[in-house]
Copies of this chain bind each other. A is one copy, B any other.
Amino acid sequence: MERVSLERKVLSENDRIAADLRARFTEHDILCLNLISSPGSGKTSLLERTLDSFDRRERAAVLTGDIQTENDAKRLARSGFPVKQITTGGTCHLDARMIERALLDWRLEDIDLLLIENVGNLVCPSSYDLGEAAKVVVLSVTEGEDKPLKYPSIFFKSELLVLNKIDLLPYVPFDIAVAEENARRVHRDMEIVRVSCQTREGMAEWLSWLDCKRGNSRAAASAS
């Protein structure tokens, strides 16, 4: 019981900071997305392709979380957009305080789109609100079509499922229709895009979803 109540305390402190971040993102008209997946599902590759597709005048920025190494920040920084690594040391997820600290020396006025790549973990990150407008879950087709049923929390909480590495479909026993059906058993209205970062198939759909969210975010900010 002691453990449960302490977890609640940690989560409610996280929620307080996340609410403050969300208010600041709205104030500055920033769309913030929180990308979550297993290790190696291709979040970094998806972000690389996304940044590569942007006009250099886009005001996009990335925070990328890992337990160790700055590998992902180095890969993403090649795009020329502002990128910062958050190294958690051993913690299995990002929390709102880490985001708050990472943003300290960035001017929010200069950002329109903030992409957060969470630590590779399909479980723990789902409990930590980072102030994002939406969570996006990435699942690669090499991981098996039952993952939405096995890890329902993150599929329930995510607005979009990116089914990644579809170029590998001919080589793996993965029924994409069953995977999508499983995702919608957990989250009926879940939006889904099928993507390959290798062949770029589906990138247009992902970028169009992103554009649509950015439009919605601007509309919400101007209405508030």
0/1 interface trace, chain A 106-132, chain B, CB 8 Å (1 if under): 000000000000011111100000000
Copies of the polypeptide in the assembly: 2
- Is A82's CB within 8 Å of the partner chain B? no
Q: Give the size of the chain A interface in residues (CB under 8 angstroms).
A: 38
Return the chain B residue nearest A90 by Cβ.
B153
Contact assessment for B150 and A67 in the assembled complex, using a CB-CB cutoff below 8 Å: yes
Of the candidate stretches A46-54, A55-63, A165-173, A208-216, the one touching chain B is A165-173
- Is A144's CB within 8 Å of the partner chain B? yes
Q: How far, in Å, is A35 (CB) from chain B's closest CB?
A: 16
In the complex, chain B residues whose CB is within 8 Å of the CB of A147? 39-40
Most buried by B among A39, A122, A171: A39
A window 150-175: CB within 8 A of B: 150-153, 165, 167-168, 171-173
